Amino acid sequence: MRNDQIFVLLLVVLLPLSGCFGNEAIDPAEGTSVGGESEHSTNQTIVNHYYNQSTNTPPIFHIAGIGIHDRDHDNDYGRVSTYDPNNGSELTRMYFATLQMWFSITDADSNISSVGIDMDLDQTIDHLFQPVTSWDDLSYYESPGIAQANGTLANNGVGEWGHEAYMCFARVNLVAIDEHHGISINPITIRIDTALPYDSDGCQSDYTGE
């Protein structure tokens, strides 16, 4: 009799709760309500236009030769002077050398967008080149004039003339940049006093001749 009473009591307790349990599945599209609005889960395709620079191969220089232009000898060695406006006497004099360069450039996975020469070593192109035909063809290019005192690396003599500072070296960078901003820098160090007259030894800020 006591067991029957317990069974009846459980029925009384459980029957009102039967409506709280159901077998209906929750629609995934309903999601979680935030501020009274449902968040809907949908499949999206994200297109990333960022170019992975780590996979980009920068341009490569293929240099056949670099030298000093011979015409500077016939053009007074690229001489630039300033004169006294009163009597016309020469106040200062500077000589400029022109680099001759034969090179081509290749890029395995990009188009080359710009090529030039960095004159002040800040890894920025100061003078742009234009391709003669295409960049991957071996072609001839010239630098702007390089002052005898500009970009100096060394100004010291050697051998029996070691006490005289007669050598002058200049430094520039050849720079190539591709369409994905890959950059190639080819440093050049070259002696430029060999293209200057004998009365202008070494690297100088200016020179005054007789």
Inter-residue contact 68 to 194 (CB < 8 Å):
yes
What pLDDT, on the 0 to 100 scale, is given for residue 91?
85
Instruction: State the distance between the two ends of the chain, measured CA to CA, in whole angstroms.
Output: 138
| Residue 77: how many other CB atoms lie within 10 Å | 17
Q: Which two tokens stand for residue 20?
A: 């709280």
**CA pair distance 117, 140, nearest whole angstrom:** 14
Name residue, tokens 């030298």: 67
- Whether the CA torsion 128, 130, 131, 135 is positive or negative: it is positive
**Which residues are 171's β-sheet partners?**
189
pTM given for the model: 0.64
Residues (pLDDT < 70) of the chain are 1-54, 70-77, 150-166, 195-202, 204-210
What pLDDT, on the 0 to 100 scale, is given for residue 182?
94
**Which of 112, 109, 113, 105 shows the shortest CA–CA distance to 52?**
109
Inter-residue contact 174 to 61 (CB < 8 Å):
yes
What pLDDT, on the 0 to 100 scale, is given for residue 19?
57
